Amino acid sequence: MGETIRGSRIYFPIIETFHLLALTVLFGAVLVLNMRLCGLMMKNQPTQQVAKDLSPWAWWSLVVILGSGILLFLSEAMKCYASKPFQIKMMFLFAAIIYHFTIHRGVSRSSREPHRAMGVIIGVVNVVLWLGVGLGGRGIGFL
Amino acid sequence: MADVPSIIHWMQNSDIGTGIRESIWVFPIVETTHVLALALSVGVLIWFDLRLMGWGMKHQPVSQVHKQIMPLAFVGFVVMFVSGILLFWSEAEKCYLSGFFRAKMLFLVLAGLNAGIFELRTKKTIEDWDKYPVPPAQARMAGLISILSWAAVIIAGRATAYNLF
C-alpha cells in the first residue's frame, strides 16, 4: 500500500489535499470553541452549547485527518520516522488528543461556565498544541 | 507597453522575488504563514457558511454568527492575501504557467463575487430570517457556493505546489 501511494503520481497529492481540507475544518472548529472559552466570541451562548454544535464536525474532520495521515505516513514511513519535525508533530498530536478528551472536554462540556482566567488558559493551551501539530507537519515537507 | 509575460518575468527575477525564493528561511516561513492564515480564515468562515446552510450553530441568530466570525475571517484573509502575493512574487513564472494556479484565481474571484452579492444584496432581508434555524434558499446557496469555492481554492492551491500540470 505504501509503495502504491509513493509510486503513483497523483495518489499522494490527492490524499494530502484531503488531509489539508479536513485540517482546515478542524482548526476552524478548535479556534471557534476556544475563542468562546476565552470569552472572545458567542458570549450570549453557553460554552457547552457551542461545544455540542461543533463536536460532530470536529469529530469527522479528525477521522479524515487521521485516516489520510496514516496513508501519507505509510508511503513515507522511513522518511517520517527519521524526521525531527515529524517526531515533534507526533508528540504534539498525542498531547493535543489526550488533552482534548480529558481536561479540555471536562471544562467545555461542563454545565457551569468556567472562570474567565481558567477558560483562557485551557483554551490557549489547546490552540498552542494544535498549532504545534500543524507547524511540525509543515516542517516535514521543508526539512 | 510591457506585456503580461514580461511583467511576470521581471517579478520573478526582481530582488524581492529572487530573495524570497532562494532564502533558506523566508520561503518556508511565508508559506507556513500562508497555510496558517488559510486555516484561520477559511476554518472559521466555514462555520458561518454552515450556519447559512442551516447545518450548524442553529441556536445562534445568523447576524450574531456573522458579527463574531467575519472580523476573524477578514484578518486571516488579509494575512493570507499578503503572504500569497509574496509567494507569487517569488514563483511568478511557475504560477503564471500553471493551470491549477489559474483555476485557483478563478475560484478566488468566484468566492469574492459570492461574498459581495451576499453582503450587498442577500443580507438586506436578514431581519426577516435571522432567527430561523434554516435561512431562505438564496442565503443557503451563498453558504454552499462559499464552501465549495474555498475548497476549490485550497485544492487548486495545493496542486499548484505539486506542479502536476
Q: What is the rounded average pLDDT of the residues B35-45?
A: 93
Cell of A33: 470553541
How many Å apart are CA A45 and CA B5, to the nearest integer?
A: 53
Q: pLDDT by residue (tens digit) across B60-95? A: 899 989 999 999 999 999 999 999 999 999 999 999
Cα of B157 to nearest chain A Cα, Å? 10
pLDDT per residue, tens digit, chain A (143 aa), is 777 877 777 888 889 999 999 999 999 999 999 999 988 888 888 888 889 888 888 999 999 999 999 999 999 888 888 899 999 999 999 999 999 989 988 888 888 888 888 899 999 999 999 999 999 998 888 77
- A59-68, A122-131, B2-11, B47-56: least confidently modelled range: B2-11
pLDDT for residue A81: 86
Instruction: State pTM to two decimals.
Output: 0.88
CA distance B10 to B4: 10
Report the gap between the CA of A63 and the closest CA in chain B (Å): 17
Phi-psi region of B3 (alpha: psi -120 to 50; beta: other; left: phi over 0): beta
Residue B117 has a pLDDT of 95
The pLDDT of residue B163? 66
Measured CA distances, B88 to A16, A21, B51 (Å): 22, 21, 33
How close is the nearest chain B Cα to the Cα of A124, in Å?
15
Give the separation between CA A37 and CA A41, rounded to whole angstroms.
8
- Please say if the pLDDT value at position B23 is more than 80: yes
B58 CB neighbours in chain A (<8 A) are 53
User: Measured between CB atoms, does B67 come within 8 Å of chain A?
Assistant: no
Percent pLDDT > 70 in chain B is: 97
Number of A to B CB contacts under 8 A, please give it. Answer: 79
Distance CA B5, CA A132 (A): 40
- Mean pLDDT rounded to a whole number for chain B: 91
Predicted pLDDT of residue B113: 97
Please give the distance of CA A20 from its chain centroid, rounded to a whole number: 11
Inter-chain touch A21–B68, beta carbons under 8 Å: no
Partner-chain residue, chosen from A45, A53, A138, that has the shortest CB–CB distance to B35: A138
Answer with the residue of higher pLDDT: B57 or B106: B106
Listed residue (A120, A124, A119) closest to A106, CA to CA? A119
Report the pLDDT value the prediction gives residue A2, as an integer from 0 to 100. 79
More confident residue, A142 or B132: B132
**Structure ipTM:** 0.82
Nearest chain B Cα distance for residue A57, angstroms:
9
Mean pLDDT of B23-34: 91
Q: How far is CA B45 from CA A23, A27, A86, B27, in A?
A: 14, 11, 29, 26
Confidence (pLDDT) at B164: 61
- Contact status of A133 with chain B (Cβ, < 8 Å): no
B80 CB within 8 Å of a chain A CB: no
User: Taking CB atoms and an 8 Å cutoff, what residues of chain B touch A13?
Assistant: 158-159, 162, 164
Mutate to test the interface with B, among A27, A135, A140 (most CBs of B within 10 A): A27
